[in-house]
Structure 1
Amino acid sequence: MEKMILDNDKYYQNIIDNLLDYDVCINMSVNAPGDSKYSNEAKLLVAYFDKLINYDYVKKETYNTLKGIQINYFINGVKADDVKKEMVKLEDEHPLGRFIDLDVFEKNSKQSLSRDTLRKCYLCDKPAFVCQREENHRKIDLEIYFKREILNYLSEFVANLIKESVLLELNLDPKFGLVTPYTNGSHEDMNYNLMLTAVDKISPYLKEIFKATARIDNIYELLMNNQVIGKLAEERMLIATNGVNCYKGLIYNLGLMITASTYSLVNLENFEYSYFVAKTLSKQTFKDSKLDTFGQKAYKKYNFGGIRKETLNGYPSIRQILPMIIDYEDQTLIRALVKLITITDDSVLLKRSGSFEKMEEIIYKFKHLDLNDLEAINDLTNYCIENNLSFGGSADLLITAIYLTKLQETFTFLELK
């Protein structure tokens, strides 16, 4: 306990020293019982709330302390009382606000500004300090509640990101033979409503992959667990679609990157680390598997590796297009899709093209497509439908890239000082 007090004294002295140069400091920490302040749920909570601090801070410091992750935001040109009111509002009104402490310090003060109202207990309406003093609740009950509420809320938030990402791609039109709200494209066995049915079936399982990654620390145990979830997603989809494979590739690619990015978040790694995790997991996935006959021939003859090559190299295609997704307008996403078509080894396209040479001719058309010319886009779309061409692999990667963009808008990949 003495070491914690000494460390806290040193930590808060750092805030006071910095306030010689700044007007206000917001100190974010986790309001959690026992060791749950060090949990993965606590890390996700801080990563999420960091995006909710809307002040234009001059300096930001992130520390891993005996109180868990703490962040200091140093701000100029604002009044501490006004900032405190905003932070209290966030603590009191956000569904997860009860689990976060947002203390406000001002220049020439050695203590944080106090609240006008007392904070309530997690489990009842009494003031939190009363329940703590009287030991009204078991610590284990508080810890379970803390972790459950955070993970349930954030996983539901992520589930919405997943659906939004899929629908942004699905609703694009025209789209080079892929299914849209207005056409089945090159897919006689698919239509828009069937795709929506498939999305509804796989989304809960992709959400479970996020939750499992937050709970399981061992990366190889995590891989086995999430592979089982992915298989269940595929089975439920095929039952609902009467055997039509709408999103098998997406389950794998998005599931892998949900795992990799969430693992990076809870291990306090930067976003780029997600690609390394994806490479590590895919090596295990493909370790004992063999290419199918078509895949073997394509790899030996053309060094054409398909999705295996993409994942084992840490998704270089996604890395290329992420900077292109500056918004979610149709034109932006079509540009990203066309880029993917020109740089991705899509084995389905190779098979449907009939030859490597023919596939290269098709890709050449996309490389020289004027994306400002809607008539040219429509003409190429009609050409793809007439020739039964499919770019499902590129569509899956686009959805995954949209999700990763939205994830980075929702959570900060924290880097410790």
Structure 2
Amino acid sequence: MTFNRPEERIASLAVEAMLHEAAAGPKPGLVDRYNNGAHKDMDLFTFCSSAAVLHPYFSSMTETGFHFTGSDLLNLLRQIRPIGIEAEKAMFEATSGINTHKGLIFSLGILCASAGYLLKNETPGKNITGDDLCGIASQMCRGIVERELAVSNRKQTHGEKLFQDSGTTGIRGEAEAGFPSVTGSALPALRRSAGEWNNRLVDILLLLMTEVEDSNVLHRGGTESLKRVKEQAGEALEAGGSGNLKGREILHRMDRDFAERNISPGGCADLLAVTIFLYKLENII
């Protein structure tokens, strides 16, 4: 990376990934440039307003990773947590209290810090890959599922309740494991893909929907909704995906169906944004 302030460029890529994910479509049940999916309290402009205020926080987390000097990367997570909390406050202020990007502040924040850390500590001249970044993220999040999703006496969040009821670990589990749905499936598929950028992104979303135990879907509709999401996403891919007329017909049908059933695969949408970020970062870092 040859520019003077790499943390600014990395933060810009994080925001760009959020905006590209939001705009890509049609995305069944999700906010995109066509409609609001299963959401009545937000639209594409809400997502744009949210993303627009997050750049300085991603930049700060990248810089924190660059200047981190400890040997235990758990401490790097502790150092960026206060920055993430401030980012959430800025998001809620920009959206009048609507949670658009809380999950991505966590995921992309960790990966920005990982990028900063590797920029300083990786062998000079070595290309840094998405797999490298996710490996650092995994070390930063070591034990986070047990620490944050275990039984407690306080009121449980949706994620904690899902973990207790079904063992679903959500985005914390993805991060602790090094984002396996991204490194093992979505990112390699995006590298191999060709054609119109929008169609490539929608097809990666469909791929994630066939594989991920999406905690948003489980929270809204349980295991039957999750099964429905996986089956219909697989059907759309088998029909040729977003770039194929039949695949697109299935996508629009899914979009109507998910909106009616209040199904929103938001976990997969976040992982799509993570995939976009890593894909773009690999090509400049």
The TM tier, using the shorter chain, reads 0.7 to 0.9
Give how far 1:289 is off: 2.1
Aligned to 1:215: 67
Length-normalised TM-score, structure 1: 0.59
Give how far 1:358 is off: 3.5
Give how far 1:391 is off: 1.3
Residues 215-246 of structure 1: CA deviation (Å, up to 9, x unaligned): 22223443222111111000111122111000
**More helix per residue: 1 or 2?**
2
1:330 aligns with 2:198: yes
Q: Which amino acid aligns with 1:363?
A: K
Residues 288-347 of structure 1: CA deviation (Å, up to 9, x unaligned): 323536545544554322222212211111111111223671111111111111211211
- Alpha-carbon contact 1:189-1:244 (below 8 Å) kept: yes
1:356 aligns with 2:215: no
- Alpha-carbon contact 1:198-1:247 (below 8 Å) kept: yes
1:198 aligns with 2:50: yes
SS in 2 for 1:288: helix
Aligned to 2:137: 278
Q: Residues 300 and 325 (structure 1 numbering): CA distance in 2 closer, same or farther, change over 3 Å? A: same
Give how far 1:409 is off: 0.5
* Counterpart pick for 2:101 among 227, 247, 250: 247
1:170 aligns with 2:22: yes
- Alpha-carbon contact 2:29-2:258 (below 8 Å) kept: yes
Q: Flag the structure with more relative contact order, 1 or 2, with Cα contacts below 8 A and sequence separation at least 6.
A: 2
What's the % identity of the aligned pairs?
29
Q: Distance in 1 between matches of 2:64 and 2:159?
A: 32
Q: Distance in 2 between matches of 1:250 and 1:343?
A: 19
Q: Count matched residues.
A: 262
Q: Distance in 1 between matches of 2:147 and 2:266?
A: 25
Residues 174-198 of structure 1: CA deviation (Å, up to 9, x unaligned): 1112111231221111011111110
Q: Distance in 1 between matches of 2:44 and 2:52?
A: 13
1:303 aligns with 2:156: no
- Alpha-carbon contact 1:169-1:398 (below 8 Å) kept: yes
Write the mapping of 1:78-93 to structure 2, written as runs, cut at 5 A. Answer: none
1:317 aligns with 2:153: no
* Counterpart pick for 2:269 among 392, 395, 413: 395
Write the mapping of 1:126-275 to structure 2, written as runs, cut at 5 A. Answer: 150=4, 153-218=5-70, 219-268=73-122, 270-271=128-129, 272-275=131-134
1:381 aligns with 2:255: yes
> Root-mean-square deviation (CA), in Å?
2.1
- Alpha-carbon contact 1:307-1:345 (below 8 Å) kept: no
Q: Which amino acid aligns with 1:209?
A: M
Q: Distance in 2 between matches of 1:230 and 1:301?
A: 28
Instruction: Structure 1: state its 5+ residue gaps.
Output: 1-47, 50-95, 97-149, 412-417
Q: Which of the two has higher C-alpha Rg?
A: 1
Aligned to 2:279: 405
Residues 365-387 of structure 1: CA deviation (Å, up to 9, x unaligned): 11222212221111111111111
Structure 1 window deviating more from structure 2 (193-202 vs 306-315): it is: 306-315
Q: Distance in 2 between matches of 1:276 and 1:154?
A: 20
Q: Distance in 1 between matches of 2:263 and 2:199?
A: 21
Q: Distance in 2 between matches of 1:330 and 1:222?
A: 35
Q: Residues 160 and 293 (structure 1 numbering): CA distance in 2 closer, same or farther, change over 3 Å? A: closer
Q: Distance in 1 between matches of 2:265 and 2:119?
A: 31
